Amino acid sequence: MRINGYTRTCGLIGNPVEHTMSPVIHNTLAKETGENLVYVPFHVQTGQVEDAVRGAYALNLMGLNVTVPYKSDVIPFLREIDPLAERIGAVNTLVRTEGGYRGYNTDMPGLYRAMASDGVSLEGEEVLVLGAGGVARAVVILLAEKKAAGVTLLNRTPERARRIADEVNAREGREFARVLSLEAWSRLPGDRRYLAIQATSVGMYPDTERAVIEEEAFYDRIHTGYDLIFNPPETRFMKRVLAHGGRAFSGYKMLLYQGIIAYELWTGRPVDDALAERVYEEMQRALSV
């Protein structure tokens, strides 16, 4: 593309940002749609988040993505926040408005679109969520919003999972979320098979030879497994699901679609399935280099 006085800038703030795939997503989208836009990662040091947000606005940046560890830290420096991001308590996309940035969370809508592209429906589904951190909490909120039948949180420390379940159940006005310790998975009722979402860092590169639950019989209970990790592309959790006849997906398409939704918010341009597939191919090409 040709950079000139009309070129708009978007970027990513985080620490670290050196291995991010986001420039591949957004610069490919800009090229394919003819948008005069460039996307750059910015490594923001600890304690400088406020300066980064205010500086980006002063420099007329069109928008920002936010990655770890700043997804909650940016919130006090925003002009406003989208209701979903407020419920989740984390922001990963900033959109320029008059007087400041508006914060959004595109991670969970990105997961939803990734699942839809893979033919996975949430409505009426019984779901297992492995983990009880911030990502797991966001997933449970998404499941409630998309009318899943119910969710069971499996976590090493049930007390932490119980806090998430109590919060979501109070909001829903019913027992939507239940809790079991990891060791108690065999107490899952009946012989139902579940959609399982792996929301911990267990199995992430370089410690790739572990899964949160190792017992083979557990994987007989899963018809579809989503591991929100995208490095490695096929985790031990995914391999176990596949070996027991289920379908398995990584977090790679979630990464794709959270970026696409951010791009749509910044530019107002909808991204269709064909373009999403072209961007996905560019991501895979970049990963293999």
Is the CB of residue 80 less than 8 Å from the CB of residue 103? yes
* Predicted model pTM: 0.94
The yes-or-no answer on residue 71 being catalytic is: yes
DSSP state, residue 148: -
Tell me the average confidence (pLDDT) per consecutive run of 10 residues in the chain, 289 residues long: 93 96 98 97 98 98 97 98 95 98 97 96 97 96 96 96 97 97 93 95 93 97 96 95 98 96 98 97 88
pLDDT for 288: 78
Q: Where are the alpha helices (DSSP H) in 37-103?
A: 49-58, 83-88
Question: What is the radius of gyration, based on Cα positions, of the chain?
Answer: 19
**To which H or E segment does residue 93 belong?**
strand 93-97
pLDDT for 1: 73
Structural domains in the chain, sorted by start: 8-105+253-288 (3.40.50.10860), 109-250 (3.40.50.720)
Amino acid at 32: E
